[in-house]
């Protein structure tokens, strides 16, 4: 009596006072402990009973087998199984057989459980239902349904409990047909009116099958509808990512004055966070507080913190966490993770320190977030400190995610050597480990190392994923290695990865663009099943980088015709295309689109591109007007404007811009100075150009290759031969700038303009390659001016060998002959100019 009433202390006291204790009295006490969930006490009772020589009966064994199942103690369970079997109790009591099935199922020994079922002389609905439930509890839906078919063949009629498990099995296997069949059966047998659990199992099954409209319909058809019913439906909507419908269900549920449990509240808070519905989230938080659920459920506290974080209310999340009566590692980890997701690494680390000051021990999830925070803040020393703790706690041996987080932290802190050491020392390496390191090498431009890592990864028998391939393709683009890129393309296509991952399609387009194979990039783009804004922007940027403005504009129109909306990157590229083609009408149209979307307020780059576009189109008044309206005027926008004025021969205006930059405290870079020097050079103001160069040096800006092209060009146009020579020599000796094709061509032009054609020829002969067609063309042009037939013939021969049938070279040679009163030769070359596209050009003797 005391045991049934739950007063086990009194029951034990009475029991201990009994002079004679038999199996019935022992059983009463064991059952009492079992009902109270005290398995250890029940087992102690059984052992004491055994010690006192009281033989257990079928009830004792049934109880103690149940204890073994609850404790997952299969060793004791098998021992009692042998005892029951040896005593012949299984043949007499089906209850014992059912308990054995349940014990083995709970211990995870499903094959043994089924063997017991098959050995039973009598199998009832409980036997079958227990076995089916065992399969379902272990996620083995197919076996559960197979067991049901056996049960039907055995002639046993299922009950509500059987059907409850079978409906769960249909949810596991996604067997819609079987689920509908079982639904009809339970309706026809009138079982729904007798079982609330069965009603809820039906709703849960449809929710798990993704048939949410059917689940919703069933919810309003079944005779019982409670908080659990709604919770299953809400969970279904959450699983399908239909968060607004989940919230709608919650409001309907509350309108019926039904209160969810903690797990449903956690689901709804998650939905509020994902759709950033802070108002509903706050309302639910208040309701949870009124019901005092937080005091009993730490998980719910963490869900509230997570909701505020996802709604971008980090201060609210921090405040709420500080008010929690109990803060555990989960709630702290959620807040730390929230700060990390928002890129607020310092705040995340402060939270971590505070958490530790409260004596809370971090877990692997906490450490992973803290390592990300170290990567964001580039605090490598803090990262090393965390690394040390992780090693001390031996977490790397059991958690590969932590190992990968360590690699990522070192990569972000630019310590690639340490990142590689971590990877090598990991007990287990996966694809993510290698991909993280490969990506790190590629981002730092260390592409050879990235390729080496890729090969080692393959030798580890690991299959690259989309991220790995994307990084290696990027390395191919940087290295301009189309052969390796094409080989990877074949490999990726063979695995069908391009169709599954748009990232890979975009990476392939980018690789071919970077390798200069723009036509192949376009073919890849055309072949993609899905093209997003990144796909199109990459292709457009590729055309722009290769000076193909018209193709970029066509690509942009095709993108818009497919309904893909451009982003800031697309607009920046297309403005450059307008500048290349000098398409002012299209440029103004894009300007209007950008202004309408309010993008200029949030994107400095776009403003700079607009100024540059108007400059390239030669509309300086519009460039100045746009510049004046920019919310932020940085060095790049000033440079674009200065370059525009300089290119249009308005050097004084450009210089005034430079002074304004000075006054605003902006640092001038080499591009600014080059624009001014180039502008004055173009105007023929060499002295001013040289003065600007001196000012540039005085302010500590180092000249680059372009600077010297501008300076030598200025000297060339003003006849300052000595000064031009001096700049060419000092460029190498004093500034360490290696001369390129433009420098040599400028030097040829410098001497040629001064009628020193032999020095010009010597410059060409001293060049690293004599295949600089621009240098020969410059010399040929000078020979025309000065009427030098001999050197002219030499320059002509080289020019046409390099340029093919170039009409300009024929015209120049004809004019050289005309100037030298060699009219017959001149006329012949004028004819050859027309026929040069048909006949093979002649090579002239320089004699």
- Least confident residue range of 428-432, 442-446, 631-635: 631-635
**What integer pLDDT is reported at residue 683 of this predicted model?**
74
- Residue 843: is its pLDDT beyond 50? no
For residue range 734-764, what is the model confidence (pLDDT) as tens digits? 999 998 888 988 888 888 888 887 888 888 8
Run of H or E including 329: helix 329-341
What's the CA gap between 397 and 380, in Å, rounded?
Answer: 22
Domain contains 733: yes
Range in 87-96, 154-163, 364-373 the model is least confident about = 87-96
Does residue 603 surpass a pLDDT of 90? no
Number of residues that make up the chain: 847
CA-to-CA distance for 551 and 559, rounded, in angstroms?
Answer: 12
Residue 60 has pLDDT above 80, yes or no: no
Residue 569 falls inside a structural domain: no
Name the least confident of 194-203, 241-250, 322-331, 781-790.
781-790
Cβ pair 156, 124 in contact under 8 A = yes
Is residue 844 very low, low, confident or very high in pLDDT (cuts 50, 70, 90)?
Answer: very low
User: What is the average pLDDT score of the chain?
Assistant: 86
Q: How confident is the model at residue 243 (pLDDT cuts 50, 70, 90)?
A: very high
Cα 358 to chain center, whole Å?
A: 34
CA angle 726, 732, 735 (to 5 degrees): 95
pLDDT score recorded for residue 742 = 87
What single-letter DSSP state applies at residue 582? Answer: T
Q: Once rounded to an integer, what is the mean pLDDT over residues 430-452?
A: 95
pLDDT band of 66, cuts 50, 70, 90 = confident
Place of tokens 């060699």: 822
* pLDDT confidence band for 322 (50 / 70 / 90): confident
- pLDDT reading at 660 higher than 50: yes
Distance CA 342, CA 308 (A): 12
Threshold 0.85, pTM exceeds: no
DSSP structure class, residue 599: G
Number of domains in the chain: 1
For residue 807, what pLDDT is reported? 61
- Buried b / exposed e across 188-218, counting CB within 10 Å, b at 16+? eeebbeebbebbbbbbbbbbbbebbebbbeb
Domain contains 674: yes
> Does 558 score more than 60 pLDDT?
yes
| pLDDT average, residue stretch 340-346 | 90
Q: Which residues in 556-565 are b (16+ Cβ under 10 Å) and which e?
A: bebbeeeebe
pLDDT given for residue 832 in this prediction: 52
pLDDT in tens, 483-541: 999 999 999 999 999 888 999 999 999 999 999 999 999 999 999 998 999 999 999 99
Q: Are 511 and 475 in contact (CB under 8 A)?
A: no
203 pLDDT higher than 50: yes
Residue indicated by tokens 């919230």: 247
3-state secondary structure of 339: helix
- The pLDDT of residue 92 is 81
Q: Is residue 393 part of a domain?
A: no
Residue 81 lies in a domain: no
Are 591 and 610 in contact, with CB atoms under 8 Å apart?
Answer: yes
Query: Which of 663, 673, 603, 661 shows the shortest CA–CA distance to 632?
Result: 603
**Are 229 and 261 contacting, i.e. CB atoms less than 8 angstroms apart?**
no
- Whether residue 694 lies inside any domain: the answer is yes
User: Range with the lowest mean pLDDT among 309-323, 378-392, 484-498, 586-600?
Assistant: 309-323
Secondary structure (3-state) at 759: helix
Position of tokens 């997570």? 306
Give the pLDDT confidence score for residue 168 in this predicted structure: 96
In this structure, of 176-185, 462-471, 786-795, the range with the lowest mean pLDDT score is: 786-795
Report d(CA 410, CA 383) in Å as an integer.
8
The pLDDT of 699-727, averaged and rounded, is: 91
So what's the pLDDT on residue 770? Answer: 54
> Residue 1 — very low, low, confident or very high, per pLDDT cuts 50/70/90?
very low
| pLDDT band, residue 316 (cuts 50/70/90) | confident
- Please report which confidence band the pLDDT of residue 570 belongs to, taking 50, 70 and 90 as the band edges: very high
Q: How many CA atoms lie within 13 A of 127 on its CB side?
A: 24
The DSSP output letter for 666 is P
- Residue 610 predicted with pLDDT over 90: yes
How does residue 68 score in pLDDT terms, banded at 50, 70 and 90? confident
pLDDT at 644: 85
- Which positions ≥6 away from 827 have C-beta within 8 Å? 814
Residue 842's pLDDT band (cuts 50, 70, 90): very low
Phi, psi of 421 (to 5 degrees): -60, -45
Higher pLDDT among residues 14 and 269, named by residue? 269
CATH number at residue 735: 1.25.40.10
Distance CA 571, CA 555 (A): 12
- pLDDT single digits (tens) 830-841: 555 444 543 444
> Do the Cβ atoms of 369 and 404 come closer than 8 Å?
no
Please say if the pLDDT value at position 352 is more than 70.
yes
Domain that holds residue 719: 633-739
pLDDT at site 823: 60
pLDDT tens-digit readout, 161-201: 999 999 999 999 999 999 999 999 999 999 999 899 999 99
Summarised one tens digit per residue, pLDDT across range 117-169 is 999 988 999 999 999 999 999 999 999 999 999 999 999 999 999 999 999 99
Give the pLDDT score at 838. Answer: 35
The residue-averaged pLDDT of 681-699 equals: 86
Place of tokens 């050097």: 651
Q: Is the pLDDT of residue 331 over 90?
A: no
Residue 92 lies in a domain: no
Q: In angstroms, how far is the first alpha carbon of the chain from the final one? A: 131
Question: Would the pLDDT of 13 be above 60?
Answer: no
What tens digit of pLDDT does each residue of 394-437 get? 998 888 999 999 999 999 999 999 999 999 999 989 999 999 99
- The closest of 59, 205, 55, 231 to 141, measured between CA atoms, is 205
Percentage with pLDDT > 90 across the chain: 55
Residue 643 lies in a domain: yes
- Report the pLDDT value the prediction gives residue 59, as an integer from 0 to 100: 79
As a whole number of angstroms, the distance between CA 589 and CA 573 comes to: 14
């Amino acid at each position: 009596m005391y045991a049934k009433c739950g007063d086990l202390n009194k029951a034990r006291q009475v029991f201990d006072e009994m002079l004679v204790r038999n199996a019935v009295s022992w059983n009463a006490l064991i059952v009492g402990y079992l009902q109270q969930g005290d398995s250890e006490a029940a087992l102690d009772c059984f052992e004491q009973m055994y010690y006192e020589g009281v033989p257990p009966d079928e009830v004792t064994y049934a109880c103690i087998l149940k204890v073994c199942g609850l404790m997952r103690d299969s060793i004791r369970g098998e021992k009692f199984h042998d005892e029951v079997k040896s005593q012949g109790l299984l043949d007499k009591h089906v209850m014992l057989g059912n308990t054995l099935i349940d014990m083995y199922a709970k211990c995870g020994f499903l094959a043994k459980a089924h063997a017991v079922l098959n050995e039973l002389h009598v199998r009832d609905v409980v036997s079958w239902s227990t076995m089916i439930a065992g399969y379902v509890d272990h996620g083995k839906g197919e076996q559960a349904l197979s067991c049901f078919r056996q049960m039907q063949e055995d002639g046993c009629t299922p009950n509500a409990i059987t059907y409850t498990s079978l409906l769960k099995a249909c949810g596991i296997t996604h067997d819609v047909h079987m689920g509908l069949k079982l639904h009809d059966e339970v309706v026809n047998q009138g079982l729904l009116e007798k079982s609330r659990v069965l009603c809820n199992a039906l709703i849960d099954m449809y929710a798990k099958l993704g048939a949410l409209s059917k689940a919703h319909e069933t919810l309003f058809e079944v005779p019982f509808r409670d908080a659990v019913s709604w919770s299953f439906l809400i969970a279904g909507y959450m699983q399908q990512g239909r968060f607004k419908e989940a919230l709608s269900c919650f409001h309907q549920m509350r309108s019926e004055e039904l209160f969810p449990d903690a797990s449903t509240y956690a689901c709804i808070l998650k939905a509020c966070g994902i759709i950033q519905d802070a108002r509903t989230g706050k309302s639910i938080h208040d309701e949870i507080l009124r019901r005092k659920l937080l005091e009993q459920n730490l998980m719910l506290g963490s869900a509230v913190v997570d909701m505020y974080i996802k709604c971008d209310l980090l201060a609210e999340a921090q405040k709420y966490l500080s008010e929690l009566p109990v803060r555990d590692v989960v709630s702290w980890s959620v807040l730390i993770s929230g700060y990390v997701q928002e890129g607020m690494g310092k705040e995340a680390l402060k939270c971590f320190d505070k958490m530790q000051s409260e004596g809370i021990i971090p877990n692997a999830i906490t450490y992973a977030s803290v390592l990300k925070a170290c990567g964001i803040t580039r605090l490598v020393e803090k990262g090393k400190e965390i690394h040390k703790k992780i090693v001390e706690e031996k977490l790397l041996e059991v958690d590969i995610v932590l190992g990968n987080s360590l690699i990522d932290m070192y990569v972000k802190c630019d310590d690639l050597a340490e990142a590689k050491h971590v990877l090598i020392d990991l007990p287990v390496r996966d694809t993510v480990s290698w991909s993280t390191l490969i990506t790190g090498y590629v981002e730092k431009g260390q592409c050879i190392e990235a390729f080496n890592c890729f090969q080692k990864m393959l030798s580890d028998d690991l299959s690259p994923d989309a991220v790995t391939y994307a990084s290696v393709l990027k390395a191919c683009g940087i290295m301009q290695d189309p052969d390796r890129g094409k080989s990877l393309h074949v490999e990726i296509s063979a695995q069908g990865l391009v169709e599954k991952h748009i990232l890979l399609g975009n990476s392939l387009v980018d690789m071919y663009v970077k390798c200069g194979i723009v036509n192949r990039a376009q073919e890849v783009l055309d072949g993609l099943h899905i093209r997003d804004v990144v796909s199109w922007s990459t292709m457009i940027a590729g055309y722009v980088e290769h000076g193909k403005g018209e193709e970029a504009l066509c690509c942009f129109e095709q993108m818009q015709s497919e309904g893909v909306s451009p982003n800031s990157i697309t607009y920046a590229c297309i403005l450059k295309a307008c500048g290349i083609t000098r398409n002012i009408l299209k440029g103004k149209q894009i300007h209007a689109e950008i202004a309408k979307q309010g993008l200029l307020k949030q994107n400095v780059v776009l403003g700079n591109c607009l100024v540059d576009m108007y400059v390239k189109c030669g509309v300086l008044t519009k460039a100045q007007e746009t510049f004046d309206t920019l919310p932020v005027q940085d060095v790049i926008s000033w440079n674009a404007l200065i370059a525009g004025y300089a290119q249009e021969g308005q050097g004084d205006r450009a210089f005034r811009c430079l002074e304004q930059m000075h006054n605003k405290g902006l640092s001038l870079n080499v591009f600014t100075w080059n624009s001014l020097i180039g502008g004055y050079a173009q105007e023929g103001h060499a002295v001013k150009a040289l003065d600007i160069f001196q000012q540039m040096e005085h302010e500590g800006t180092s000249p680059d290759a372009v600077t010297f092209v501008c300076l030598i060009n200025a000297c060339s146009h003003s006849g300052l031969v000595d000064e031009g020579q001096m700049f060419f020599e000092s460029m190498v000796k004093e500034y360490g700038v290696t001369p390129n094709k433009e420098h040599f061509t400028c030097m040829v032009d410098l001497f040629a303009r001064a009628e020193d054609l032999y020095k010009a020829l010597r410059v060409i002969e001293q060049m690293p390659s004599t295949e600089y067609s621009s240098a020969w063309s410059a010399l040929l042009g000078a020979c025309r001016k000065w009427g030098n037939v001999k050197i002219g013939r030499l320059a002509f021969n080289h020019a046409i060998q390099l340029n093919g049938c170039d009409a300009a070279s024929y015209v120049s040679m004809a004019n050289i002959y005309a100037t030298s009163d060699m009219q017959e030769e001149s006329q012949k070359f004028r004819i050859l100019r027309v026929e040069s596209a048909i006949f093979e050009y002649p090579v002239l003797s320089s004699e």
